Amino acid sequence: MSANLREPDRPESRIQRQMRSMGERARRAARVMASVEPGEKNAALFAIAEALVGDSKQILAANARDLRDARDKLDDAGLERLELTPARIERMAEGLRQVAALADPIGGITDLNYRPSGIQVGRMRVPLGVVGIIFESRPNVTADAAALCLKSGNAALLRGGSESMHSNQAIAACIARGLRAASLPSDAVQVVETTDREAVAAMLDMPGHIDVIVPRGGKGLIEFVSNHARMPVIKHLDGVCHVYIDDDADADKAIAIAVNAKTQRYGTCNTMETLLVAESVAESILVPLARDLMQTGVSLRGCVATRRLLGTDVEPASDADWAEEYLAPVLAVKIVADMDEAIEHIERWSSRHTDAIVTENLTRARAFLRAVDSASVMVNASTRFADGFEYGLGAEIGISTDKLHARGPVGLEGLTSQKYVVFGDGHVR
């Protein structure tokens, strides 16, 4: 399998060798983890939670070192993401306990049916194997991602941002202690220690050692991982989400949903970035809605009809606006003739993350649900609900806008696969 890691003629670098060795240990640990009983995994999760709380002082000291080193490199928002507090450590621990409380996803057999030949065929849910997670500055991802991988019977190779390296290592020490306390292989969760960027490239070039990669962070990271990974990637690049207010929308619901979808949080991937409004309700709904949005500090960029209706406070929108994920108090607005035009606009510009219709019309709601090809399609609800916790997955490793394997919020099930199991009594063909 090591052949995957390097070209035949190029000697392996020190970092490549180190990553390959971690990959081999992860693979061995994954084999053990696949058959571990739920109680053992949960015992490890509780032991890790306890270690985190018990080691709070050391974790905070390591984090203080990261914060000091990062002072000149990160802006305030970045430093805020990097910072750990006793409350945040307690939340990490609580997250681990919550994952322990989830139903074990592994080993369940479904659809076990007798076939005409007499064999019984079913499907057993199994771990993927080794999950690689590459993330940026939030050190809590170390604990969160480790918990999900562990619970789903996978081994994890975690590579955090260089800014959070000391915090990550302090958390990693707690994870290793918890695994040992539950008699599980400590290689089941390994944190890459080097800050060398070559380690990321080496991970992406190890399809024999890593079964799936989950990048968590900014667009630059996700693009880099998608373009270079030689194994499947669970990812979403953009969140250009739409709300379409239909002719038969209830005005109060439409305004509440659009305001919430845009303003509850500006920086999240499920925030609305483009509002589509049916011509027939532009006057009755868009006018008061635009006032509410602008009062909250949202600036609008509109199509010609929107500017004609709302006036020149609204900047003109270009194609670049339809494609843009603002992640800011800015909203693109387009007045459309009808639902068909809205669906066409979504088909062309949506990033296929989350799109919603507001309507009381059952037939159009049904048609919108079928026609819009996005990971989440909503009727009369805010796009902000597109989230693993809101969907009841219990936890979320990320959101996928891909169609194969995992789509939408990805919980424990996204870290598993199903194999066929066949039972016979000496059956032959």
The binding site for a copy of itself (CB under 8 A) comprises: 31, 34-35, 107, 113, 115, 117, 119, 121, 124, 126, 128-129, 211-212, 232, 250, 252-253, 256-257, 259-261, 264, 347, 356, 358, 367, 369-371, 373-382, 384-386, 390-392, 403-405, 407-409, 417-429
Instruction: State which residue, 210 or 333, has the beta carbon closest to a copy of itself.
Output: 210
Instruction: State which residue, 170 or 399, has the beta carbon closest to a copy of itself.
Output: 399
Nearest approach in angstroms of CB 164 to a copy of itself is: 28
Nearest approach in angstroms of CB 252 to a copy of itself is: 7
Strands (E), 74-154: 109-114, 120-127, 130-135
Nearest approach in angstroms of CB 300 to a copy of itself is: 20
Nearest approach in angstroms of CB 15 to a copy of itself is: 26
- Terminal-to-terminal C-alpha distance of the chain: 35
Q: How many CB atoms lie within 10 A of CB 219?
A: 11
Closest C-alpha among 11, 125, 216 to residue 415: 125
Nearest approach in angstroms of CB 385 to a copy of itself is: 6
Nearest approach in angstroms of CB 347 to a copy of itself is: 7
Instruction: State which residue, 175 or 261, has the beta carbon closest to a copy of itself.
Output: 261
CA distance 357 to 231: 36
Cβ contacts of residue 9 below 8 Å, gap of 6+? none
Instruction: State which residue, 258 or 303, has the beta carbon closest to a copy of itself.
Output: 258
Instruction: State which residue, 95 or 414, has the beta carbon closest to a copy of itself.
Output: 414
Nearest approach in angstroms of CB 73 to a copy of itself is: 33
Instruction: State which residue, 122 or 217, has the beta carbon closest to a copy of itself.
Output: 122
CA distance 212 to 192: 16
Instruction: State which residue, 170 or 393, has the beta carbon closest to a copy of itself.
Output: 393
Nearest approach in angstroms of CB 42 to a copy of itself is: 18
Closest C-alpha among 140, 146, 194, 144 to residue 167: 140
- CA of 248: how far to CAs of 14, 245, 261, 285, in Å? 64, 8, 19, 11
* Structure tokens, 151: 């619970």
Instruction: State which residue, 219 or 230, has the beta carbon closest to a copy of itself.
Output: 230
Residue with tokens 């958390």: 171
Closest C-alpha among 115, 120, 117 to residue 423: 120
3-state SS class at 80: helix
CA distance 77 to 266: 14
Closest C-alpha among 62, 41, 55 to residue 92: 55
